[in-house]
Homo-oligomer: A and B are copies of this chain.
C-alpha cells in the first residue's frame, strides 16, 4: 500500500501565524496532519477546526505535528490575514497556520493547486517519511481520524 505514496511537497506560505515557518523536511520522523481550511467555511468552523485543535492537544508535539493551511479560493476580500488572526485569537486556536500563497491569475492558491485539493475542509496525513498517506475531503468522524492517525503512528 505504501509503495504508491507520493512525497508531500513543501507548503508555499505567504506567511505563518502561531508559529515560525515549518517545513515538511524538518518534521520528518513525525506524523503530520495538514488541515486545509477557510475561516468562513461552515464545515471548517463548526466541525473541522475544533477537531484539529483537539488533535493538536491530544498528541505530543514529539510524535505528531499539526499544520493549518489557510487556502482561500472564494470571498478573498472577506478572509484576509487580519480577519484570520481575529478568528484564531477569538476561538483560541493555537495550531500553526500557513497562509497559502494566492494564485497567479486564478482564485485557487498555490499550495492548494499543487496538492489538487477539492475544497475545504481537507485533511492530509503525512507519514514519518514525509509522504502523503491519506487525503480526505469533507467532515471526518473522530473515530476514523483517530484510527488513521494510530495506524500511521505505528509505522
List the number of copies, as a whole number: 4
Given known pairs A86-B78, A149-B150, the reply for A144 and B41 (CB within 8 Å) is no
Asked whether any CB of chain B lies closer than 8 Å to the CB of A3, the reply is: no
Most B CB within 10 A of own CB, among A42, A86, A89:
A86
Which residues 128-152 of A have a CB within 8 angstroms of B? 141-152
Asked whether any CB of chain B lies closer than 8 Å to the CB of A118, the reply is: no
Q: How far is the CA of A89 from the CA of B40 in the complex (A)?
A: 10
Asked whether any CB of chain B lies closer than 8 Å to the CB of A46, the reply is: yes
Decide: A87 and B145 in contact? CB cutoff 8 A. no
| Nearest CB of chain B from residue A82's CB, rounded to whole Å | 5
CB-CB nearest in chain B for A43: B90
Asked whether any CB of chain B lies closer than 8 Å to the CB of A32, the reply is: no
Which residues 62-108 of A have a CB within 8 angstroms of B? 75, 77-79, 82-83, 85-87, 89-91
Residues on B with C-beta less than 8 A from A4 are none
Q: How far is the CA of A144 from the CA of B149 in the complex (A)?
A: 10
Decide: B90 and A41 in contact? CB cutoff 8 A. yes
Contact of A42 among B78, B90, B146, B149 (CB under 8 A): B90
Residues on B with C-beta less than 8 A from A117 are none
Asked whether any CB of chain B lies closer than 8 Å to the CB of A153, the reply is: yes
Interface positions of A (Cβ within 8 A of B): 40-42, 45-46, 51, 54-55, 58, 75, 77-79, 82-83, 85-87, 89-91, 141-155
